[in-house]
Amino acid sequence: MKRTDRPILSAEDVAWVRAMVLAEDADVIAFDKPAGLSSQGGRIQAHTLDDLMWAFAKSNGNRPRLIHRLDRDTSGVILTGRTQPAASYLGKAVQARKLRKTYLAIVAPGAPEPRSGEVDAPLRREEIGRESYMRVAAAGDPEAQSARTLYRTLAANDDAALVELNPVTGRMHQLRVHLASIGRPIVGDARYGGALTLGGRSAPRLMLHARQLAFPHPDGSGMKTVSAPIPADMATVLTSAGLAEPEGRPVR
């Protein structure tokens, strides 16, 4: 199936994507994307979240448009514009860095040092075979892109830590590479050196979750915030690692 073709969605597909909806109105729909689902353009022969937007298509063929992406194995909040004007407005907000994103990651071993701070390390893209990687760039590298991440430790022990992340920029794999660069790669991240087991359990996937997204609403009503709960697989890893799940309080 070509990605430009309208996919055939089963009743189960439609029910699945509708169950992902966190918030919706006339201009936007926010989804809780599960790990394992590509945002768009995946090489595997399976539906992407972009394909599933046909479940919300109007009779004229217009459908919600993704405003940003999450890696295939990252779970959490992802935003779409329901109309072309809304998508255009939000796209400009992304370019102006007006979206405020909050992620949760389980890292190992232990808490970063210092426990909170900023990683300001430019990144460059490298191609190895059919795979793309990001690397911390050397000073003065003409192909480097600026990249900044704010972080703070929410819970930690000698083996692992739960870290809150706020990307200032939005480079590919930024959070993964920045955490690896300070010696605390994300658990389950085989590409960038993350531990594949924790607390006697195998990591089921990359332990990175887009917990919260704040964005300027296209209708001019100001900033809106959408949150996605910690998924069950990540909660299980937190428990096995002896870390507290930060439920019951806002994540800023």
pLDDT along the chain (252 residues), means of 10: 71 97 98 96 76 94 95 97 97 97 98 97 93 92 96 97 97 97 98 94 96 98 97 95 69 32
pTM of the model as a whole: 0.93
- What Å distances lie between residue 135 and 74, 111, 206, CA to CA? 19, 22, 18
Give me the pLDDT at residue 2, please: 41
Give me the pLDDT at residue 1, please: 38
Give me the pLDDT at residue 164, please: 98
Give me the pLDDT at residue 4, please: 52
Give me the pLDDT at residue 110, please: 96
Contact of 35 with 20, CB cutoff 8 Å: no
Catalytic (active-site) positions: 71
162/152 Cα distance (integer angstroms): 9
Give me the pLDDT at residue 129, please: 86
Return the CATH class of domain 11-240.
alpha beta
92/146 Cα distance (integer angstroms): 19
